[in-house]
Amino acid sequence: MKNMLGIDMKKEEQARFTSPKIAEEIRKRFADKTEIISVNMKYKRNIGRFVRKIERAHNKAKKSTLSFS
Amino acid sequence: MRLNGLSSHRTVFSEETKIYSASPPFSSFDFIESRFNGINSLRRCFSLARSLGMETITLEKISPQGLILEENNELQAYFPDYKFKGALRLCFWKKGFKKTEELKRLTSRDFIGYAILKHDQVKSKRVNKWHVFEAVFKKYPNPRNFIARSKTFKISCGDRQFSIKGVLYCQQNSLNKACAQVALRSLLSNHLPEGDISYKKINELADITPESGREPGKGMTVVEIRRVLTSLDIGFRDVDYTLDDKFRDSLPYQKFIYAGVESGAGAMLGFRFSGPEIPDNAPPRHIIPFFGHTFNKDTWVPDAEISYFDVGGGVGYVPSENWTSSFIGHDDNFGPNYCVPRCHVNKANVDYVVELLNREVKYSGVHAEAVSLGFIYSLVPSIPSESKENHWIKRLTKFIRMKRIVLRAVFAKKKSYIANLKDFSDWEGNRESTEFLNDLEDMLPPYLWIIEISLPQLFPANERKIGEVVLNPFVEPNISKDVDFDLFLMARIPCYYFFLDSLEEGNPMFLLLDSNIKSHMPLIRRL
């Protein structure tokens, strides 16, 4: 079954839900209550570095030699 | 093996049900010492039962069925002299009764918990002992003890069947299972559609088989744990702190445990024992599962500097985990449902943490919180100046400037999110438009990462929030980008909703939609 955004509600379709698609639909329905603003994304490098650190740690753990008994 | 097969050791009929009154002079100590050689984990089971109002205990001898039978076959394959010496099912009851006929008037509400004990013998290994094959106990009724996801287990007693909700506890036997296998089974029983997993299956997925030359009772490596999770298609994020000591401070283990237990997926902590008798070159390591936490709104920590989490370069926030006093988990050596104080295990002794992710989820709750931070710190200062007169936007702006906002990452059904907005009004009684919320519900994926935004004092005392960032958990993050707009679905603060409209040469344009909600709302409750 497809939803308002034309996306099938199957598991594999879940990644297709995006904010621009929602925004488009919201604009159609509630045009008089919306406006567009430009946003300057702050601290993006710090946050980008942090999430890369999580992934780096996760990837490093592939080489772990720890064992638990 | 199908679900019935996996669980038949719980529902197998027993010829005889013995009944013991737990009233004085009955002594749990005597009972455990005389019959089970004083197993520590069973003492804990009896303590839990006492705390939950135990009046009666039933004891039934059960034949090997289900997972017990499968374990016996696995043990036989490893140890030809293996002997199954028996299994017993103990059920703990809140009502006093003396005859089996009286079981008829009991309901599952009278049922506190159960423990299945198993006696294994392997002469060549000098093993001849009882262990708690599994146990499930209700959580304390205290609402401050929070378990995001527990499972209902069906148990037979006499000719009746009862159900109990809890998280499976399992103990190692040092033969076909060690701490890692039992920790995995505890958490996997909550994840898998089959509702449980056998040790044989866990060992096979880890490539530990009789032919491999590896004895499963000697434990599992991180590589093997990862192999099991990957084979079952369960996402996870883990850190081996021995590979980079700096991660102990920049990626604290508590963040991963909290994210795992808040999302209901669970987490495991691997740590080193320390003490004068422990050799430095080969310290024994233990791993335990966590699935819940306690909440203390008066905790002192969030007001101290330690409470602030810096993602780097002074950019940070106050994580909601600061109001967690303890993580709730099992320690297979000592028993079920323990509260482990959040900072009790010294970070220097923690070697490994793994946060499990819910099905199909592509990134961690720790990741989600960090991503949301960028959106909150950028969106709020960009709103039209006239809205900045709203008191709650003023306060939010002030706390953003101080980088002291409180964030709580919740993995929840979109139904829970929409219900949260539909069912409650803000502090002044304003309600969101139902028409808009019905439309919004249709535009969101079935599950969401919801990162709730609150302020110190408002969060712990009132359990309320002033907005949230909503991310799509099913999108594979692109970590080469500093800002991954594909994860973002929407954000809400008093007066406004934000949706990403377009990206013009990398500059984001957001669609701002008026909201009827002008102040704070209750925190989300999962459905």
**If you classify domain B3-356 with CATH, what class do you get?**
alpha beta
Q: Does B485 touch chain A (CB under 8 A)?
A: yes
DSSP-assigned states of every residue in B256-316? HHHHHHHHTS-EEEEEE--STTS-SSS--EEEEEEEEEE--TT-SGGGSGGG-EEEETTEE
> And the tokens for B290?
């966590």
Q: Min CA distance, B150 vs chain A (Å)?
A: 23
B507-514/B521-522 β-pairing: unpaired
Rounded to two decimals, the ipTM of the complex is: 0.92
Which letter, b or e, does each residue of B360-371 get, where b requires 16 or more Cβ atoms within 10 Å of its Cβ? bbbbbbbbbbbb
How many CB contacts within 8 angstroms connect chain A with chain B? 219
Q: What's this model's pTM, rounded to 2 decimal places?
A: 0.93
Residue B337 buriedness (CB in 10 A; 0-12 / 13-18 / 19+): buried
Contact: B312, A46; criterion CB under 8 Å: yes
Q: How far apart are CA B289 and CA B357, in angstroms?
A: 14
User: Cβ contacts (< 8 Å) between A11 and chain B: which residues?
Assistant: 360
Longest pairwise C-alpha distance within chain B: 81
Q: What is the pLDDT along chain B (527 residues), one digit of tens a residue?
A: 444 578 999 999 998 999 999 999 999 999 999 999 889 999 999 999 999 999 999 999 999 999 999 999 999 999 999 999 999 999 999 999 999 999 999 999 999 999 999 999 999 999 999 999 999 999 888 878 889 889 999 999 999 999 999 999 999 999 999 999 999 999 999 999 899 999 999 999 999 999 998 999 999 999 999 999 999 999 999 999 999 999 999 999 999 999 999 999 999 999 997 666 655 666 689 999 999 999 888 887 666 655 788 888 888 899 898 889 999 999 999 999 999 998 888 999 999 999 999 988 999 999 999 999 999 999 999 998 887 789 999 999 999 998 899 999 999 999 999 999 999 999 999 999 999 999 999 999 999 999 999 998 899 889 999 999 999 999 999 999 999 999 999 999 999 999 999 998 778 999 999 999 999 999 997 64
Question: In whole angstroms, what is the distance from residue B13 CA to residue B9 CA?
Answer: 9
pLDDT digits (tens, 9 = 90+) for B459-478: 988 999 999 999 999 999 99
For residue B527, the tally of other CB atoms under 10 A from its CB is 12
pLDDT digits (tens, 9 = 90+) for A12-46: 677 788 999 999 999 999 988 999 999 999 999 99
Q: Which residues contact B379 (CB under 8 A, 6 or more apart)?
A: A39, B491, B493, B498, B510
Cβ contacts of B207 within 8 Å, gap of 6 or more: B214, B224, B227
Interface check B490 vs A, CB under 8 A = yes
Half-sphere exposure of B513 (CA within 13 A, CB side): 24
Contacts of B20 (CB under 8 A, 6+ apart): B26, B31, B56, B57, B58, B59
Q: Hey, is the C-beta of B371 within 8 angstroms of any chain A C-beta?
A: yes
Three-state DSSP class for residue B206 = coil
Touching A: B residues 81-140, CB under 8 Å: none
B509/A51 Cβ within 8 A = no
Distance CA B267, CA B154 (A): 25
Q: Cα distance from A52 to chain B (closest Cα, Å)?
A: 6
Among residues B472, B454, B466, B407, which one has the least CA distance to residue B262?
B407
Tell me which residue of B371, B407, B404 sits closest to B258, measured CA to CA: B407
Q: What is the pLDDT of residue B275?
A: 64
Interface test with B, best of A39, A40, A56 (most B CBs within 10 A): A39
A50: nearest Cα among B347, B302, B356, B372: B372
Pairing type for strands B350-356 and B315-319 reads unpaired
Domain layout of chain B by residue ranges: 3-356, 365-522
Q: CA B151 to CA B195: how far, in whole Å?
A: 8
Enumerate the residues of chain A whose CB falls inside 8 A of the CB of residue B180: 68-69
Kindly determine whether residue A34 and residue B287, on different chains, have CB atoms separated by under 8 Å.
no
Residues A39 and B342: their CA atoms lie apart, in Å, by: 38
% helix / strand / coil in chain A, to the nearest 5?
A: 60, 15, 30
How far apart are the CA of B242 and the nearest CA of chain A, in angstroms? 8
Contact present, B190 and B266 (Cβ < 8 Å):
yes
Residues with Cβ within 8 Å of residue B503, at least 6 apart in sequence: B485, B509
pLDDT at B124: 95
d(CA B354, CA B7): 27
Amino acid at B525: R
Amino acid letter, B227: R
What whole-number distance in Å separates Cα of residue B415 and Cα of residue A9?
Answer: 14
Among candidates A4, A29, A51 on the partner chain, residue whose Cβ is nearest the Cβ of B477: A51
Mutate to test the interface with B, among A3, A21, A22, A35 (most CBs of B within 10 A): A22
Burial class (CB in 10 A: 0-12, 13-18, 19+), B81: exposed
Q: Give the list of residues 6+ apart from residue B342 with CB closer than 8 angstroms, or none.
A: B254, B293, B321, B324, B325, B326, B327
φ, ψ for residue B95, nearest 5 deg: -100, 150
Instruction: Note the pLDDT of residue B62.
Output: 96
With b meaning 16 or more CB within 10 Å and e meaning fewer, what string describes B478-505? ebeebbbbbbbbbbbbbbbbbbbbeeee
B8 to chain A, closest Cα gap in Å: 28
Enter the tokens of residue B413.
Answer: 């059904």
- Alpha carbon B262 to its chain centroid, in Å, reads 7
